[in-house]
Structure 1
Amino acid sequence: MVTEVRGFTDPQKEDYFRKSFRDEEQARRIISHIQTSRSLHIMCHIPVFCWITATVLENMFETRDGGELPKTLTEMYIHFLVVQSKVKKVKYDGGAETDPHWSPKNRRMIKSLGKLAFQQLQKGNLIFYESDLTECGIDITAASVYSGVFTQIFKEERGLYQDKVFCFVHLSVQEFLAALHVHLTFITSGTNLLSEPTTSQWSRPFRKKPELNHLHQSAVGEALLSPNGHLDLSLRFLLGLSLETNQKLLRGLLKQTGSGSQTNQETVEYIKKKISENLSAERSINLFHCLNELNHRSLVEEIQESLTSGRLSTKTLSPAQWSALVFILLSSGKDLEEFDLMKYSASEEALLKLLPVVKVSTKALYVDQYININKTYSKEHKTNMFNLLFITVFYLRLSGCNLSERSCEALSSVLSSVSSHLRHMDLSNNDLQDPGVKLLCDGLKSPHCSLETLSLSGCLVSKEGCSSLTSALNSNPSHLRELDLSNNDLKDPGVKLLCDGLKSPHCSLETLRMSGCKLSERSCEALSSVLSSVSSRLRHVDLSNNDLQDQGVKLLCDGLKSPHCSLETLSLSGCLVSEEGCSSLTSALNSNPSHLRELDLSYNHPGDSGEKLLSAGLKSPHWRLDTLRMDHAGEQWLKPGLRKYSCELELDTNTMHRNLKLSDDNRKVTHVTEDQSYPDHPDRFDVFPQLLCRPGLTGRCYWEVEWRGAVDISLSYRGIKRKGIGSDCLFGYNDQSWSLIYSDDRGYSVRHCGTGTPIMSSVSHRVSVYVDCPAGTLSFYSISSDSLIHLHTFRTTFTEPVYPGFWVCPGSSVSLCPL
């Protein structure tokens, strides 16, 4: 059994302080103060720390202490210790408020507790026994006095067998007192309790005059070697205790060192040197917290200024500056509801360095660029990385990131995590293949998985992948509500397997998209059985761009007629449907009941009779249909495959670069060395060897291209710049254009806004392009033996007509193919 322990959420923190302080202005001031200090804000996740903070600040308000509120953890815990000492002096010793609170008795008590805290922390103990107290010079008979007097610091409890056991109210209190003990020991005796033991003892004195920065360096080294960061907080306390301002707060208990400024500067330089050594993000962040305890913020302020001015370039950041950027983003005081990696850098390096920022991003993560996570990192590293990345992310989009099955294994572990918040995941356009889907399904089967929507569009999923998904859909419980399998070679056998899962009473799937999956009428028969199933929850099905034909529609309608069918939307766009299919649909819609509300029959050939039947039925009181699409109707749409959308393109000579030569009835262009005698024109590309085609496209369009050499096959808005060498003129390097790129040494890749994504696929020198402007999709396919192999699909919103275009390398050529 796994138990998840949660602390205060941000609203609960605020609620706690509002309830602790009746004065609304005081509560507002405290909440605002805590939000400006990331260290305090993070620690307030712990209810005990909220209580410590409230105790300290309440005392400061009551005594009308005019000083600034504590900004660091060390300041807060020093104030807490002082408050408790005052309470003991007045309540138990009968002293006055004005009496010195560090009496000899109190000093001995604090020093003994510090020794106990340190020794037990070294052993990893949070619970202590009477023998542990005796070892630290604490009289057993006085233990109850310690427990009673310092109930806020040290408490006595009863163990399983009624033996007396002791513990501090929280680990952070023990860590603070342990750091205080280490500091006091070094100042009074020169003994470094943190140095490596050369004998059985855990300490050795310095042979020369002790230097406090040596102690600090030892502490930094120990913390960096810690595998789980358990020394991080102690290190921050130890460094904070070296500040003269903090030592003044402990006057009477702590001897001031006198050389704090020089020592602290040496410690600061040592920490900055460590940060520059390209540490893990977590270790670097703690070192920035350490610099914060030492009141040193120059590196952070440098990056903050660049961020504010808009001059930040992540391409030139040093490891230390990267760490500073992470620290700033985490310390911004604002919830990272949406984290956009593209804002900082389109690289895997940036992703790895910004992992902690992503971890606290609660709603969305957009990583639309090439991430080769499988090339460099070990299996364990990748798994840990994904867990850190996405454990608190709500919506994850990793479309076109060159992920493989190994990434699926890591993602599966996230889905299986008891702490996972992941609800929506888009893995489209990745080379996952069936083995990757199988690994992913292991996570989908987990009782901890709460994923609701999953896109595997264009992920090379076939029959075996469908089998794995069926097993996952049969799991109990299955939260998956929406599944997109478009642009995969599922074919009929794959759909048949998938339908077995859809009929399971454990399956909660409501939306299924299988556009362009090479389905035939046999898939319709399997889907019909799902629609007729009493356990089916399907509400929305997209079968567009599959050659179902009238016979397939007829089989599908058998399911639509079933009283168990609850389908509300059905897309049969571009499915070779004619009058006969429309007749079958009319019969199904006349059945009672029919839940269908939306039917898309665009790009089919319903004929006059089909249109009349369906249009007349819209007026029937038995029909619930309120949206019927039959636009782009005609016999030309009865061609199989995407070639039904073929369009006639013409090379626009007014846009052609002067080194591009026309041939083959103006359907072929070759990059030559001689300038062609084209007239001057404002639309002509003057630097890059590019051209556009015409006319502009607004609907569904398809064309095929052959080439030799290295070319870019692009789609662009008319407004792309034509003059100069800027990225705003080059296909694929701006928000005006999208490109499929081919070169002999690198193979295929796609590019948009300057971000490239490699595509792992066998090379064919004939490719096709399909654009659906209203749907906002642009797809590229390689053509082999007259079969289309999906390469990549861009998803966007086209705001104006788009124009095919080409970039042609010297000595290369490209041709528009007749269809």
Structure 2
Amino acid sequence: MQSFSDSEQRHCCPTQCAPVPTLLFNLLQGSLMKGVRKVVTSRPEAVGPTLKRYLRKEVLLKGFSPGGIDCFVRKYHRDPTVATRVLECLRSNTALLGLCHIPVFCWIVSKCYKELLGCGEGEGSPQTITDVYLMILQHFFQRRASQRNTMGIGWVQEHQDTALHLGQLAMEGLGASCYIFTGTELQKCGVTEEDICMGFLIRSKDLSSSTNCKHYEFLHITMQCFFAALYIVLNNNSDRSTIPKLFQLQDRQQQPGFHRACLGHCLTQQEGALKEANKAAETPNLQITATFVSGLLAQRHRSLLLLSCPGPTLDRKSKQVVTCLSKGIQKHFKSIPRPVEGEKKSMHAMPGFVWLIKCIHEMQDSRIARDTMAKLEVEHLKLTYCNIGPVECTALAYVLQHLRSPVGLQLDYNYVGDVGVEQLLPCLHVCHSVYLRHNNISDEGIRKLIEKGIQCERFQKIALFNNKLTDACTECFAHLLKMKQNFLSLRLGNNNITAAGAGQLAEGLRFNRSLQFLGLWGNKIGDKGAEAIANALKDSQTLVWLSLVDNGVGNAGACALAPLIKNSTLEELWLTKNCITRKGVECLILALESNTSVKAVWLRGNELSPEEVEEMTQREPRLTF
């Protein structure tokens, strides 16, 4: 929680950099964007379509970077040795490292470091969101048990009453969109003082201080969802329709009262009576609950729960989850439109699809993932603007690696980052193309991707527009081009590649005999870089498209590109927004006279007068100004 005081620094300039707390304070105080109405929330997914209709701009803080995770852990643990051990454990477990991209998971891992370090490596270490929450459950129970004796393998059974009491409270709260509870509500659900002392509930200070009645809330909304899921799994008296209804949210969330009906089946009529009948549960919270239900019913947790719930009951509930996931995924597959003649069959996945994929990953059963993907027959899977981060990348890779046919995976405009790239590697062998535009990826993430991509025969295209790439990555791409003689498309636009990087890249281009598309627009390669690229490609018999837009290319670079036009299979050359004058264009015109296969040379935004543009257009109509 961030607190502010009158001594906070005033900040009025929208273009001047400032720390996040300073920006937030001045946004709320009104110094920044004065007169503009603002909505500030720590849970943007809770801002529904009704409110979004009135939003003109969204700004999201996407969580911790790898450096942020390192900083948080070292600040949390005063002992440098402990901090180093925790970080080493995270780096050896990429799935857990991906989860720590989300701050609350980073806090849980730091809080439960003894349990984490005691897990060891391999299957015993946390792999899923459910694993992490079971770890903090064990941590809080262990903390209380250590005052009496140590816990055994049946620690869930030992604290089953507490789990059910808190679970019932969590369920009733979610059904009514209620996250703050009175003492009366706790008493109604059987929550005792000992249950409260476990630490999962905290005093709601703002409300408790203004009235004589104490108010409580869960440590975090996801903790409330987790206890609700525990209640669904451990409660032997729950209605058989509870789980199916929980997974039908994406189809029926618009129906009035559906959420109350969904959760109400877990409770008796008397228990399920809600104080405010007009309140419906928030869909994102129910989806989180369904995700936890999937994870708790995974085979890997069966022995832990078997002492608390009969085996046949666990089997029945597990089969219900698998059936619901299969039906949900198949519904998405059936909605795929037929491709237009001449185009590839593609599927634009919706957020509900990503949620179902995460549920499948929580179950950690490769058979379920394989059976689910058996009927997906598309050549292109599009997941742009879907809030895909490292956690979602882990789940996608776990499921997509079982695809039977190669696919183009488009993840543009998300927040994949270096950690997410590493999580995607297990499914790279089924991807013929990967699109990662605008994803905050650096040289380190690309190094790992290329290292894996070289080993994947099907991998032929990559697009990395608007990331954080520098000259350091071009040596890796040069190696890729040398090693893969079936690679077709490389697009590195709007990064930070200079003439030195272009020279490195040229080393690979010189030996490649397959590349068709090369995009370097929006970099800083200049004349020297253009010369290096042109010399490397002058004998290419495969290149059809080259873009050096907005790269500071002048006459020297344009003249160096003339032999490429003259002798190669090039069809389009993009030189928009550069520094080319009449002298450079004359070289291009001369080269075009020797090659009729070139369709267009784009030259808008160069240093030419209107009279020169008109004259040259008449001389060579393939020049586009």
**Interval containing the TM-score (normalised by the shorter chain):** 0.3 to 0.5
- Which structure has more relative contact order (CA 8 Å, sep 6+)? It is 2
Per the normalisation by structure 2, the TM-score is: 0.47
More helix by share: 2
Question: Scaled by the length of structure 1, what TM-score is found?
Answer: 0.37
Q: Higher strand proportion, which one?
A: 1
Of structures 1 and 2, the larger Rg is shown by 1
